[in-house]
Chains A and B, each alone.
Chain A
Amino acid sequence: MSRFLAFISSIRWQDIVDILINSYILLRVYVLFQGTNAFRVLVGITSLWLAQEIAASLGLILTSWAIRGITAAAAIIIIVVFRNEIRSALQVRNIKTFLWGFPSREQQTPIDVIADSVFQMAEKRIGALIVFPGNQDLGEAIHGGIPWNGRVSNEMLMSVFWPNSPVHDGAAIIEGGQITEVGVLLPLSHRQDLPSDYGTRHRAAVGLAEVADALVIVVSEERGSVNVAKDHSLTPMQDSQMLSRALKKHLKMPDISPARQRERERIKLAAAACISFLIMAGIWFGFTRSQYTIIALNVPIEYVNRPPNYDILDTSVDEARLQLLGSSALIKSLGPGQVGVRVDLSKAVEGRNTFTITQDDIILPPGISLNKIHPTTIDVTLDIPATRELTIQVDWIGRLPENTALTNVSVLPETVKVVGGSKTLEKVNTVYTSPVRLDTLSKSGSFTVPIVLSPPSLKLAPSCPERVTVHYRLEERNPSGKK
């Protein structure tokens, strides 16, 4: 009991917010994509990912690699294959619908009104073509069309398909409770087995049903019959009840009262919300409350807010060793750039400054805490940039040839301009070349050699050469040695 209480008390308010936000994101994904094929494939990919994690934890290397490859490929395939579905799901009227809208609040299609109106039109020999889109996007199948966005009613349908209406020849598209477009041109079927008395309207209905998962109601002007085109077939409708059933089946509307349906949807959403919360809480606790691990990292120290007039001349250390504490999952997921040590130099002065590294100077991802740091203090020496002209001297090494003396050495140029901190330059009077071996020298001659600047914080002025020419003369040593 005490362990449980300790566990509860260790949960921060940020953790709760973290879980709630992600649970809501998961719920929104479900709400926006539910009923689509893309959602089913998404569930499949998630299952694959879980299988891959399980395989990896069991040490099944080849299996986990294979599943990982399949998951990656499937993720790309889902985007390509279901792009229209994804677009339809994400294409909402406004941001509020995207963030807050729930299906139960959206307008339901008035099935009975539509069914009655269709049979009234049939009775009056008014031709009609009404499209109810399925999950697939119809954008690439249909053409033309005039945005209508009128609420579905008996009068509205009658007026659209009234023979004198300028849009009565095309199809009307009904989505939810609205006629979204009228005068839409549908693709014609090229099937040879259709009855010869079927006209263009019937061929258009079958044509669209062939290429998409939409349901199309076609009302014959000549015979006054009602047919429904769906999935390559054209089914005659005997009465409005039959049509209502077909529509409800297509729109996945259960044959229950609207109130009962709303109640059922609310329960479904509540269950989805609970499952989302449980999944996210499980993932979160799995990540953050798994076995605690300590890791030691060498992290480069970043110096920020350097006073503009100063250069950083020297630092006692360039990186700090951090001992971090956190769950093994979080520690494993640590990436470069997530951990940092940042020292603020805004209050630094010229010369040597000692900074104590505090918790505020260390950047850590959430859930990771600092156990220890070394060193706890950092010395930073700041200096004002300056330029100084320094004499170049050759750094001879090795041994002179036997019985010879180096009697003359000249360096061209003799001096070089060096840029660095003024305090550093005060202590430097000579610039040396890289080491030159004496035993390779002949009687006299010249060579070029690079300049080596020390300390490394010094730089050559832009116009100065990086190599110098050395002229030398070797002479036989006088046996007496006297000059």
Chain B
Amino acid sequence: MSALLQSLVSQPYKHGFVTDIESDVAAKGLNEDTIRLISAKKREPEWLLEFRLKAFRHWLTLTPPEWANVKYPKIDFQAISYYSAPKAKQKLASMDEVDPELLRTFEKLGVPMHERATLANVAVDVIFDSVSVVTTYKAKLAEVGIVFGSISEAVQNHPELVRKYLGTVVPSGDNYYAALNSAVFTDGSFCYIPKGVKCPMDLSTYFRINTEQTGQFERTLIVAEEGASVSYLEGCTAPKFDTNQLHAAVVELVALANADIKYSTVQNWYAGDENGLGGIYNFVTKRGLCKGVNSRISWTQVETGSAITWKYPSCVLVGDNSVGEFYSVAVTNHHQQADTGTKMIHIGKNTRSTIVSKGISAGQSNNSYRGLVKILPTATGARNYSQCDSMLIGDRCSANTFPYIHVRNHGAQVEHEASTSKIGEDQLFYFAQRGIGAEEAVSMIINGFCKDVFRQLPMEFAVEATKLLGLKLEGSVG
């Protein structure tokens, strides 16, 4: 039975191919020259180079965090290349000049690089290794004043905006991996929604790591001005390599008064093989600042990939009546390790936060929820509701919940609920006795378990996530 369960969660990774494309890869190693090289390649202004160098110098004084419930060998930061870009002959004037090999790659991945009907009404910024290769619907978005594209481009075209907000939510010295990212980030998406504008389409970034022994360090910055709103989606895949690759991203969100940002992720980095060989180390800092009154930031994540996930999308609720939300499904199988959760920092009055976390562990994986709810003395009337559910498939995996609750205001209301369940032989027998086979039964149970999170996802993503989970868990029941 546990063999059947096991085979149900063990589907081959579909996105594990490598694109054969000529790339401009920086020599391995990390020092100030590496950083100057990246900055020079990107023709960055002096202040940004200074930002990087300051972060790097700070990083040198830090040690990697060891408190997470994950185990991995020490990373040799000198063995990684910090810049890799597909070689382009010159600057692209239009989509038609994008390398056809790249087009084929993203077509295979189901990412629309043409502004056509496949995913109508979603603008996509496509990032391949260290650079953004294309952004769709840019012109259309510009009509309403929205800036959407790669952060490198934004540095050139809107330096004042980038400079104003970069590092304001996640300071360059915030933590080990955030400092590293601040020093070496290569590309990422930038999105600016002006005052009062409701973004007419979903914005999306698709990240692809292609080159072996490259790290991907992208930096995403989203700013929603007063009364603006945007829904943003992020997807990611990587080829199969036997070595581990490092992905240390930083995402910063800023919501001003009455602004609303919804950030959804379906993370499907290569997770390593069934013996735990290879896979991405996904060490990511994501944080949103609800700066203005009545602002709202909502994180939804479906985490299925990566050998190791270390990630805590958080909300800092400064504006009065602001709202922070975190909806998460994290699935681990084989030897995957995930330590993920959120931080909700309540500062303003009547701030509210909701945390719904669903962890599913199969194989010999280890899945931990780690969350902090912090109510500061100023946060009168603050409320939090947390729900953390774990589901185990088979008997060799583990699930942990580490909730941290710091309340320093007596008027605050904090609720925490947790549960652990197991897909048991008896449940599967019950389904079977009604004619329903194990695969369908598991998919039904898992989707039922995750539905509170899935219904937060935009439609196309919800379909994608359901399929992905089905694939991921196929073969794990038995």
Q: Do A and B bind each other?
A: no
Give chain A's interface residues, CB within 8 Å of chain B: none
